[in-house]
Amino acid sequence: MCVSGFSQDLEAILEMESSDTTLVVPGTFNGTRLLNGQSVETRKQGILEFLISHRFGRINTGFEEFFGLDNSNIRFGLEYAFTDRFTLAVGRSSFEKTYDAYAKYRLLQQKTGAKPFPLGLTLFVSATDRTIKDYEPNEKPSFNERLAFSSQLLLSRKFSPSFSLQLSPTYIHFNTVPTSADPHDQIALGIGARVKISKRVSINGEYYYNTNPFQSIDVKNSIAFGVDIETGGHIFQLIITNAVSMINKGFISETTGDFFSGDIHFGFNISRAFQIKKKNRL
């Protein structure tokens, strides 16, 4: 009888402690990239992440181009987490020879327990410099004219251990546009999801709807599907998409391939995380 009473008291104490605890919901997505676009995730303080992204040519070019594998666009990037919430990054893409820099700040995290919060929220801002020399010698653009900027609010919710959803309201500004009829400012909405099928493998999908695209270019909305494979410090993503560019202003505003007509690019993202600085412990 004493044992039974002690057991009931212990269960009551554990239940009370559990109800008074607030827990951060971990692992909404596997990495900092959903597919083409950013995820709500940021790395832990002191982590340096090296990212390599490839997008090959269109699959429907056929055997002559080895179904797109003869052509390749690549981006190299470095991300460093100054805190668990704040990350700075730089990158360089072979597509249009573009340099990019961005910052991510994790404003809010989804929580359960005594003080739950239903969503995760991360702010993303970036700037790009397009340096390809596709202009006449006497029409060289200035540095300011080559710049474009984007910003996003990344809102996520992990509904269950196997399903996560993200919305990505996006604003993009171009200092220079193809023609006077084209908008300098564009608004888009991205939606992405992850379905986890095992401890280390998940299936992802991503779609961006551009509300006011360029008028002089036959722009298509960006679509991507992929598989995430997590292997310790590596995250390996296999992707099919109609976008060539791997930065916001490119895949959201300048994609011309029609996914449903076969203008599909195979690609992959690889990331490797390095612990550069350890947290100070009291």
Residue 36 scores a pLDDT above 70: yes
pTM: 0.88
pLDDT value, residue 22: 86
- Report which of residues 188 and 234 the model is more confident about: 188
Summarize pLDDT for 85-102 with one digit per residue, the tens.
999 999 999 999 999 999
The residue whose two tokens read 């200035």 is 142
Domain contains 281: no
Mean pLDDT of 118-132: 96
Summarize pLDDT for 126-154 with one digit per residue, the tens.
999 999 988 888 888 999 999 999 999 99
Predicted confidence band of residue 41 (pLDDT cuts 50, 70, 90)? very high
Number of folded domains in the chain? 1
pLDDT value, residue 1: 47
Q: Tokens at residue 100, please? A: 């990019």
Mean pLDDT of 63-75: 86
Residue 9 scores a pLDDT above 70: no
Summarize pLDDT for 17-31 with one digit per residue, the tens.
555 688 999 999 999
Domain that holds residue 80: 23-275
pLDDT value, residue 229: 93
Residue 35 scores a pLDDT above 50: yes
Domain contains 184: yes
Domain contains 135: yes
pLDDT value, residue 114: 86
pLDDT value, residue 18: 52
Distance from C-alpha of 118 to C-alpha of 129, rounded to nearest angstrom = 37
Q: Where are the beta strands (DSSP E) in 109-243?
A: 111-113, 120-130, 147-160, 163-174, 185-196, 201-210, 222-231, 234-241
User: Which DSSP string do the residues of 41-105 spell out, in sequence order?
Assistant: --PPTTEEEEEEEEEEEEGGG-GGGGGGTT-EEEEEEEEEESSSSEEEEEEEETGGGEEEEEEEE
Domain contains 195: yes
Domain contains 9: no
pLDDT value, residue 67: 78
Domain contains 90: yes
pLDDT value, residue 171: 98
Residue 7 scores a pLDDT above 60: no
Predicted confidence band of residue 15 (pLDDT cuts 50, 70, 90)? low
Domain contains 16: no
Q: How does the average pLDDT of the chain come out, rounded? A: 91
pLDDT value, residue 280: 58
CA 178-184-186 angle, to 5 degrees, is 115
Helix (H) or strand (E) holding 8: helix 2-19
Domain contains 223: yes
Burial class of 119 by CB neighbour count within 10 A (0 to 12, 13 to 18, 19+)? middle
Distance from C-alpha of 27 to C-alpha of 79, rounded to nearest angstrom = 18
144 beta partners? none
- Report which of residues 169 and 133 the model is more confident about: 169
- Report which of residues 206 and 12 the model is more confident about: 206
CATH number at residue 114: 2.40.160.40
The residue whose two tokens read 């002559």 is 64
